[in-house]
């Protein structure tokens, strides 16, 4: 089970991808630097992912800053979360649904669910245990595997930005569905996680005006 632990791993994956799928050469040229980026496993890492659900990067960062300040820097734990009042959590910008999801995760952690240990489990096991939590779907589990467990072959096919970037970067007529994205990404195994990070970098470069869409 290959992990993305350093820049050399990213370079190896990117080199393999552009060799395996020539369409990705132009995507890589537009994307520029592809950062490895990761999150700590455990409750903090899962919290970051839940906070970011359905939000822009800027909005998620602002809410996270308030959330972390409430719980305490370095103290984003299940225990600290359960000690907070819901009104204070909502005041950070968390929706009621996200508070319920994080509460369920915190209670499960206190009941024995090892969120840090899940990062070392087989992907299917991690997905099954995370999606058993209320409010945690496949996207959240895939992002946990990619950024917290650092798996090299995970592709969050339900991610809207990835779907848009794939449509634009691959010259597809329509935005691919989650099912279609999973089928397309099969050709990028065993480096699907690197492909996801590549397309996110591509999406960001185009939206920031650092690169134009291919003609």
Q: What is the pLDDT of residue 208?
A: 84
Q: What is the pLDDT of residue 108?
A: 97
Task: Let me know if residue 115 belongs to a domain.
Answer: yes
Q: What is the pLDDT of residues 197-214, one digit of tens each?
A: 999 999 999 988 766 555
Are 143 and 54 within one domain? yes
Q: Domain of residue 165: give its range.
A: 7-37+153-207
Omega prior to 110 cis, within 30 of 0: no
Task: Let me know if residue 212 belongs to a domain.
Answer: no
- Structural domain tally of the chain? 2
The whole-number average pLDDT for the span 87-106 is 97
Contact criterion met (CB below 8 Å) for 93 and 63:
yes
Are 32 and 117 within one domain? no
Q: What is the DSSP letter of 92?
A: T
Q: What is the pLDDT of residue 207?
A: 87
Q: What is the CATH number of the domain that holds 33?
A: 1.10.1670.40
Contact criterion met (CB below 8 Å) for 115 and 109:
yes
Q: What is the pLDDT of residue 214?
A: 54
Confidence of residue 215 (pLDDT cuts 50, 70, 90): low
With a cut of 80, say whether residue 44 has pLDDT above it: yes
Beta bridge partners of 151: 3
Beta bridge partners of 3: 151
């Amino acid at each position: 089970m290959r992990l993305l632990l350093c820049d050399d791993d990213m370079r190896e994956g990117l080199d393999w991808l552009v060799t395996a799928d020539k369409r990705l050469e132009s995507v890589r040229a537009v994307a520029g630097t592809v950062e490895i980026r990761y999150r700590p496993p455990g409750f903090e890492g899962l919290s970051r992912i839940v906070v970011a659900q359905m939000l822009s990067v800027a909005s998620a960062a602002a809410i996270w800053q308030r959330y972390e300040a409430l719980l305490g820097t370095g103290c984003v734990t299940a225990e600290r979360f359960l000690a907070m009042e819901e009104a204070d959590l909502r005041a950070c910008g968390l929706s009621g649904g996200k508070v319920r999801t994080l509460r369920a995760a915190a209670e499960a952690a206190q009941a024995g669910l090892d969120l840090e240990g899940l990062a070392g489990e087989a992907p299917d096991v991690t997905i099954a245990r995370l999606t058993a939590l209320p409010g945690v779907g496949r996207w959240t589990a895939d992002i946990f595997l990619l950024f917290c467990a650092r798996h090299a072959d995970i592709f969050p096919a339900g991610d809207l930005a990835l779907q848009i970037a794939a449509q634009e970067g691959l010259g597809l007529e329509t935005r691919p569905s989650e099912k279609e994205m999973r089928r397309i990404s099969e050709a990028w195994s065993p480096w699907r996680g690197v492909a996801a990070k590549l397309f996110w970098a591509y999406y960001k470069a185009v939206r920031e005006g650092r690169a134009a869409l291919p003609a």
